[in-house]
């Protein structure tokens, strides 16, 4: 017999407490649509009244399946719930569900609110009852619950009871300061259930201050709670909330959870999880963390040469879940430690089939090794690795040849006596025997200078003859530089991430003592990779894995 587990997302409310995070209304709508698509039960959209953006969101947000929830606070003492304007603003958002936060730690009640313990219990009961009377499903977030339970278990418990008596569907145990260890969370929930509180009306809300928000949520479920509150990518105040992106696959794919519980999230929806996680990073303009459990670019990356041949034969012996179950993919990158089997595998993934005994395999390995000694790194720069391999295999057409380039940066005072800079680049290429000179300066919409690499990229992209069309949707999205050792000299290693209109993203590397030169060489690799994909591979539509 499976039991129903309820999943409550608070990315748009607690997640917005993350330092530096402030969602616009369109961004909130986009995230809500993704959460709804995943199949989560509740979406907490914000605190209407307290925040104008949140009110605007509730006016337009519509869900297919998820219950839209407004966040608010239990009423203040000395007035009725019906006369509390803060509570009224929350109800005015007209969401089917309302989640009210209230105190459950006696010290916070007396010192922070300055009211009696009994008044607080009454505030909880009456506020929840009012929401229910208004036809809403009500949830109660018991703030500082675990610290309160340590200080006075009877009182903390009474707060939950007040909420449940008021008609709350869920009473949620919040580890507000984030310091309660999973073992302790499990003990407390067990106590509550053993003394008669209904587990299927208890929820858990943890924070990641000891790096155990996910484990703490599961400990509560193991002990009988039946709702988890969390956020996408673990957004949230301080170190973040419980990360639903890590919790969902564990709940759906791993025992004892997979056979014991049923959630609103299907296996099909789970296969879109990586995309949802990256979409959020995109909204936040963050580089996705490679090490993220399940959805990170490194989550199924195999490094050691030893493993590489075995993982292809029996992936389940080397991977705790299949990468495709969460919409992720296996990566077998190149590195010093890689062997021939890594190489074959990586080539196959790039759509390049090579016979086991092809002597090019050995040459490719030698070239990788030699380049790594010069300071190149092919671990991240998969597209440059691919170009190197294609070169050795004779698979790269002569698209164009760069004959020379020149770039200058000048900084001086403008007519308003302000220091300004300007970059200008000239690139000379030869295509099909024809020489083409292009010049470009680097200037954004505001007249600001974006620097020499930008100017070079623009000049190069200005006229590539028959290939012009294919590179027009290319964009340089990230740029990383470090000084490293190349032989006996310090050299500059530049890694460039590019993106195109089809949503492909690929990384290339360039190395030189001259930073502009290193950047230009990474840029050329990026353009050639794109041309290879569009010109050489286009008919076969090979999978993109850069």
Residues 287-316 that bind a second copy (CB under 8 A): 289-294, 296-301, 303-304, 306, 310, 313-314
Give the nearer residue to a second copy in terms of CB position, either 26 or 198.
26
- Backbone phi and psi for residue 395, each to the nearest 5 degrees, phi listed first: -105, 5
Please report how close the Cβ of residue 58 comes to a second copy at its closest, in angstroms: 17
- Footprint of a second copy on residues 156-185 (CB under 8 A)? 177-183
Please report how close the Cβ of residue 303 comes to a second copy at its closest, in angstroms: 5
Structure tokens that stand for 337 in this block: 């430690």
Closest by CA to 293, choosing from 326, 265, 257, 334, is 326
Burial class from Cβ neighbours inside 10 Å (0-12, 13-18, 19+) for residue 280 reads buried
Give the nearer residue to a second copy in terms of CB position, either 64 or 255.
255
Please report how close the Cβ of residue 251 comes to a second copy at its closest, in angstroms: 11
Q: Which of 17, 190, 367, 438 binds a second copy (CB under 8 A)?
A: 17
Cβ-proximal residues to 6 (8 Å cutoff; 6+ apart), any chain: 41, 42, 170, 203, 226, 227, 228, 263
- Footprint of a second copy on residues 311-370 (CB under 8 A)? 313-314, 317-321, 331, 333, 335-337
19 contributes a contact to a second copy by CB under 8 A = yes
Q: Which of 209, 281, 499, 537 binds a second copy (CB under 8 A)?
A: 209
448 contributes a contact to a second copy by CB under 8 A = yes
Termini Cα distance of the chain: 44
Give the nearer residue to a second copy in terms of CB position, either 203 or 240.
240
Count of other CB atoms within 10 angstroms of residue 176: 22
Cα separation, 57 vs 40, in Å, equals 18
- Cβ atoms of 506 and 534 within 8 Å: the answer is no
Structure tokens that stand for 222 in this block: 């193991």
Beta bridge partners of 508: 496
Q: Which of 12, 99, 131, 218 binds a second copy (CB under 8 A)?
A: 218
- Footprint of a second copy on residues 449-508 (CB under 8 A)? 449-453, 478-485, 489, 492
222 contributes a contact to a second copy by CB under 8 A = yes
Cα separation, 20 vs 101, in Å, equals 23
Give the nearer residue to a second copy in terms of CB position, either 169 or 330.
330
Distance of CA 81 to the CA centre of its chain: 39
Structure tokens that stand for 92 in this block: 């005015």
Which stretch, 78-86, 214-222, 262-270, 349-357, contacts a second copy (CB under 8 A)? 214-222
Which stretch, 91-99, 362-370, 429-437, 509-517, contacts a second copy (CB under 8 A)? 509-517
Give the nearer residue to a second copy in terms of CB position, either 80 or 514.
514
119 contributes a contact to a second copy by CB under 8 A = no
Strands 419-431 and 434-442 come out as: antiparallel
- Cβ atoms of 449 and 423 within 8 Å: the answer is yes
Beta bridge partners of 498: 476, 506
Beta bridge partners of 426: 406, 439
Q: Which of 72, 166, 240, 327 binds a second copy (CB under 8 A)?
A: 240
Please report how close the Cβ of residue 506 comes to a second copy at its closest, in angstroms: 15
Taking residues 26 to 65 in sequence order and writing x for each that binds a second copy by CB under 8 A, - otherwise, the string is ------------------------xx--------------
Give the nearer residue to a second copy in terms of CB position, either 86 or 535.
86
Q: Which of 516, 522, 524, 527 binds a second copy (CB under 8 A)?
A: 516
Cα separation, 492 vs 56, in Å, equals 49
Cα separation, 391 vs 533, in Å, equals 14
Cα separation, 494 vs 361, in Å, equals 26
Burial class from Cβ neighbours inside 10 Å (0-12, 13-18, 19+) for residue 527 reads buried
Give the nearer residue to a second copy in terms of CB position, either 112 or 538.
112
417 contributes a contact to a second copy by CB under 8 A = no
Taking residues 249 to 288 in sequence order and writing x for each that binds a second copy by CB under 8 A, - otherwise, the string is xx---x------------------------------x---
Please report how close the Cβ of residue 254 comes to a second copy at its closest, in angstroms: 7
Cα separation, 83 vs 93, in Å, equals 16
């Amino acid at each position: 017999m499976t039991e129903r587990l309820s999943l409550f997302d608070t990315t748009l409310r607690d997640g917005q407490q993350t330092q530096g995070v402030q969602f616009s209304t369109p961004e909130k709508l986009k995230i809500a649509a993704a959460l709804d698509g995943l199949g989560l039960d509740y979406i907490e959209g914000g605190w209407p009244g307290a925040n104008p953006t949140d009110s605007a969101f509730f006016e337009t947000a519509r869900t297919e399946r998820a219950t839209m929830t407004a966040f608010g606070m239990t009423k203040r003492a000395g007035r009725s719930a019906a006369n509390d304007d803060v509570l009224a603003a929350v109800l005015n958002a007209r969401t089917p569900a309302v989640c009210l936060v209230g105190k459950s730690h006696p010290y916070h009640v007396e010192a922070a609110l300055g009211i009696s313990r009994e008044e607080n219990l009454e505030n909880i009961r009456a506020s929840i009852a009012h929401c229910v009377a208004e036809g809403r499903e009500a949830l109660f977030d018991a703030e500082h619950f675990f610290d309160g339970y340590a200080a006075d278990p009877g009182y903390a418990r009474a707060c939950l009871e007040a909420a449940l008596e008021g008609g709350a569907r869920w009473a949620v145990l919040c580890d507000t300061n984030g310091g309660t260890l999973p073992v302790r969370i499990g003990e407390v929930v067990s106590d509550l259930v053993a003394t008669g509180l209904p587990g299927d009306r208890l929820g858990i809300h943890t924070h990641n201050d000891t790096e155990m928000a996910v484990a703490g949520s599961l400990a509560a479920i193991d002990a009988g709670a039946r709702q988890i509150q969390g956020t996408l990518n673990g957004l949230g105040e301080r170190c973040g909330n419980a990360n639903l992106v890590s919790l969902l696959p564990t709940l759906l794919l791993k025992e004892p959870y997979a056979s014991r519980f049923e959630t609103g999230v299907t296996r099909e929806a789970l296969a879109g999880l990586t995309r949802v996680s990256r979409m959020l990073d995109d909204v936040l303009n963050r580089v996705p963390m490679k090490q993220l459990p399940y959805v990170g670019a490194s989550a199924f990356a195999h490094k050691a040469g030893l493993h590489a041949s075995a993982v292809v034969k029996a992936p389940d012996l080397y991977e705790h879940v299949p990468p495709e179950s969460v919409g992720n993919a296996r990566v077998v990158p190149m590195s010093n430690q890689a062997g021939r089997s890594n190489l074959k595998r990586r080539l196959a993934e790039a759509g390049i089939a090579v016979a086991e005994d092809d002597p090019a395999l050995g040459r490719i390995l030698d070239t990788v090794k030699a380049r790594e000694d010069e300071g190149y790194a092919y671990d991240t720069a998969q597209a440059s690795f691919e170009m190197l391999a294609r070169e050795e295999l004779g698979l790269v057409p002569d698209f164009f040849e760069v004959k020379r380039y020149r770039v200058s940066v000048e900084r001086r005072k403008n007519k308003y006596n302000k220091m300004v800079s300007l970059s200008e680049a000239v690139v000379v290429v030869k295509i099909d025997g024809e020489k083409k000179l292009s010049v470009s300066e680097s200037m954004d919409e505001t007249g600001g200078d974006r620097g020499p690499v930008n100017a070079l990229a623009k000049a190069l992209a200005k006229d590539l003859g028959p290939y012009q069309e294919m590179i027009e949707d290319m964009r340089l999205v990230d740029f990383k530089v470090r000084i490293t050792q190349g032989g006996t000299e310090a050299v500059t290693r530049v890694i460039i991430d590019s993106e195109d209109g089809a949503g492909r993203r690929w990384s290339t590397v360039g190395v030189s003592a001259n930073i502009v030169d290193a950047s230009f060489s990474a840029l050329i690799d990026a353009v050639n990779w794109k041309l290879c994909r569009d010109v050489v591979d286009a008919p076969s539509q090979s999978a993109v894995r850069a």
